[in-house]
Amino acid sequence: MKWLLPLLLTGCAIVPAQEPPLPAPLIAELKKEWPKNRTVNLVFHGHSVPAGYHETPEVKPFESYPLMAMQRIQKANPHAVINAIVTAIGGEDSKKGAARFKKDVLRMHPDVIFIDYALNDRRLPEAEVEKAWRSMAKEAKAEGVPVVFVTPTGARNVNYDAPDEPLEIRAAIIRKVAAEEGIPVADVLAAWKAALKKGVKQDSLLAQANHPNKKGHEIAAKVIAGMFGVR
């Protein structure tokens, strides 16, 4: 846990700044017009949040960040053909997600993969979390597929910025593995906390204790679209 504090302090720096952190050829692909363009596949892997669950068991894909991010990216790239593919499963953690990564994610011919498991990873030992995220990173890199780690949306009963907070610890593990593997991070947690510090009430962002509503998903969608240089 010795790496937690510095990563917490530098987490906001991982949020995209001026240049899009995704590969230039991918960004260029979105700028092409017919007949030179092709379908660009964005794959969203994770648990119930990217799967679209709001107040369980209700699923609202059009008010959840995968499609909301795609809409933002599409608006900024009106000639692009974009496909948002959701391989997320409600209730899943990164250990289970890593086990099916090749079969369910890489077979989708992704142009980029977004991974979001931290909320459910609180039930896993820290070493298993690190192993699972690193495994998915290495498998994607071995196939030449860009991958983005997504830090979590917020939840009730989270003691933000506390060094012993399980969600902060998982977010720090994600940042650590990403830094070591050379992977960009969509730091949704940093953006979520920034909104709270501006006075936004957390309950206005949540559909239930651990699921964001449309307003909460909008925070994640903005961060993810920012990875493509979309503001």
**30 CB contacts (<8 Å, ≥6 apart)?**
40, 73, 77, 80, 82, 228
Mean pLDDT of the chain: 94
Domain carrying residue 85: 4-11+25-226
pLDDT the model gives residue 5: 44
The partner residues of 9 in beta bridges, in order of sequence, read none
Condensed to tens digits (0 to 9), the pLDDT of residues 65-119 reads 999 999 999 999 999 999 999 999 999 999 999 999 999 999 999 999 999 999 9
Has residue 167 got a pLDDT over 90?
A: yes
pLDDT the model gives residue 153: 99
Cα dihedral 93, 129, 106, 115 in deg (nearest 10)? 70
- Give domain status of residue 182, yes or no: yes
Condensed to tens digits (0 to 9), the pLDDT of residues 109-159 reads 999 999 999 999 999 999 999 999 999 999 999 999 999 999 999 999 999
Smallest Cα–Cα separation from 87: which of 98, 73, 72?
Answer: 98
d(CA 209, CA 222): 22
- The domain tally of the chain equals 1
- Give domain status of residue 19, yes or no: no
Whose tokens are 């920012």? That residue is 226
According to DSSP, residue 153 is labeled: P
Whose tokens are 């240049």? That residue is 19
- Give domain status of residue 33, yes or no: yes
- Give domain status of residue 108, yes or no: yes
- Per-residue pLDDT band for 169 (boundaries 50, 70, 90) equals very high
Phi and psi torsions of 49, nearest 5°: -70, -55
Task: State the sign of the Cα–Cα–Cα–Cα dihedral 117, 202, 71, 74.
Answer: negative
User: CA-CA distances (angstroms) from residue 2 to 5, 89, 171, 172?
Assistant: 7, 32, 14, 10
Tell me the whole-structure pTM to 2 decimals.
Answer: 0.92
- Per-residue pLDDT band for 20 (boundaries 50, 70, 90) equals confident
- Give domain status of residue 18, yes or no: no
Residue pair 43/87 in contact by the 8 Å Cβ criterion: yes
- Give domain status of residue 152, yes or no: yes
Which one-letter amino acid corresponds to residue 215? K
CATH number at residue 57: 3.40.50.1110
> Cis (ω within 30 of 0) for the bond into 57?
yes
